[in-house]
Amino acid sequence: MTNHRRSIRSLSAEEITKLLVANGFPAFRTKQLLQWLWNNHATNFSEMHNLGEALTRFLEEHFFIDRLNIQSTQVSKDRTVKCGFQTLDGEVIEGVLIPTSSRMTACISSQVGCSLSCLFCATGKLKLKKNLSPGEIVDQVVLLEQIAQERYQQGLSNIVLMGMGEPLLNYNNVLQAMELLTDPNRYGISPKRITLSTAGIAKMIRKLGDDQVRFNLALSLHAADDDKRSEVMEINQSNDLATLAAALLYFYEKTETRITFEYILFKDFNDSIEDAAKLAAFAKCVPCKINLIEYNPIDAGRFQRSDDITTEAFKAFLERKNMIVNVRRSRGKDIDAACGQLANKIHQS
């Protein structure tokens, strides 16, 4: 479909300026082009009426605009909205709009599929097909924002990269998307309203620190015991808890941003008081808060959700250890939009 053409939205302003000047076009056209791409959400170059015929023709010959289209929409009884987004090359990703009394959160994806194969996650059962471009990442926010305004007359308050894929394995594109979303001249979202969730890749967590990112970081922990964590998260075999603890401390020292630990409670696997004690000990490695998450079943999954009594006992133990703890209740379970369920019903072949 795109032949030799390149995605224009994957280029930085500097790269665009260099290309334009090298081909005889004035540098000021970059600002106009970026305005069309990111502020006006142009879907094709012919819409860009102030660029001139010669530049429009050059852009059409050498570039394409990789916009997403909404393929499907499902609305939960709790008002959560799940969207299937189709990429220009026909792949499908999912994003979720999560409304609560105090927040309007967009949960977005960073990859088509995932390579990490965590046992409790439906996306992990899919093969990794491709990294999303910066534009495809930003588009999810733009489209979910439109739905929030149309359906609930409210704008987005938060963005979480907790959808399909591992964001740190698409590092450059994710960071470029975050720069666009937080740019005051583009979308102007506060970086403190954005949270990137990772399964735990130590060297990339350190790189986030070196790059002094301003958004929040969450680690999908789910066990504070190497044997248990390796059982459910293969990535732990190459990024064990001691290695992750050192990387997280490095990140905190560089950014002064508190870490969030995400911990799904699985019945009779990681929900005992002994498990809580190990979590409390590990969490002391860095200033943090802990989110305890209800498990959401996926097809043919081996796990069950911890009961409420066990969950409350687990939470109470952590609080006695002076931990900041929240219990995250699942949203959108009836449309497979809850944590770990994305892609549960699509493209499982």
Question: Are 39 and 86 members of one domain?
Answer: no
Beta-strand pair 216-220/158-161: unpaired
Question: Are 238 and 283 members of one domain?
Answer: yes
Question: Are 21 and 163 members of one domain?
Answer: no
User: Domain span at residue 30?
Assistant: 6-64
Phi/psi-derived region of residue 320, left when phi > 0, alpha when psi is between -120 and 50, beta in every other case? alpha
Domain boundary among 64, 89, 104: 64
Question: Are 85 and 40 members of one domain?
Answer: no
CATH number at residue 129: 3.20.20.70
Active centre residues (catalytic): 94, 339
Question: Are 295 and 253 members of one domain?
Answer: yes
- Say if CB 134 and CB 175 are below 8 A apart: no
**Residue whose token pair is 């929040």:** 216
Question: Are 233 and 93 members of one domain?
Answer: yes
Question: Are 177 and 98 members of one domain?
Answer: yes
Asked whether residue 203 is assigned to any structural domain, the reply reads yes
Please give the tally of structural domains in the chain.
Answer: 2
Residue 339: name the closest of 158, 160, 173 by CA: 160
148: helix, strand or coil: helix
Instruction: Collect all residues with Cβ–Cβ distance below 8 Å to 131 and sequence separation of at least 6.
Output: 110, 111, 112, 165, 169, 170, 173
186: helix, strand or coil: coil
- Model's pTM, two decimal places? 0.90
Domain boundary among 64, 83, 109: 64
- Say if CB 7 and CB 64 are below 8 A apart: yes
CATH number at residue 54: 1.10.150.530
Question: Are 186 and 246 members of one domain?
Answer: yes
Domain boundary among 16, 43, 64: 64
As given in the structure block, the two tokens for residue 227 are 């044997």
Asked whether residue 343 is assigned to any structural domain, the reply reads no
pLDDT in tens, the chain (349 residues): 445 899 999 998 999 999 999 999 999 999 999 999 999 999 999 999 999 999 999 999 999 999 999 999 999 888 999 999 999 999 999 999 999 989 999 999 999 988 777 777 776 667 889 999 999 999 999 999 999 999 999 999 999 999 999 999 999 999 999 999 999 988 999 999 999 999 999 999 999 999 999 999 999 999 999 999 999 999 999 999 999 999 999 999 999 999 999 999 999 999 999 999 999 999 999 999 999 998 877 666 678 899 999 999 999 999 999 999 999 876 655 555 445 444 544 443 3
Question: Are 184 and 243 members of one domain?
Answer: yes
Question: Are 59 and 130 members of one domain?
Answer: no
Question: Are 32 and 141 members of one domain?
Answer: no
Question: Are 125 and 78 members of one domain?
Answer: yes
Cα separations (Å) of 293 from 57, 61, 186, 308, 338?
52, 49, 33, 12, 10
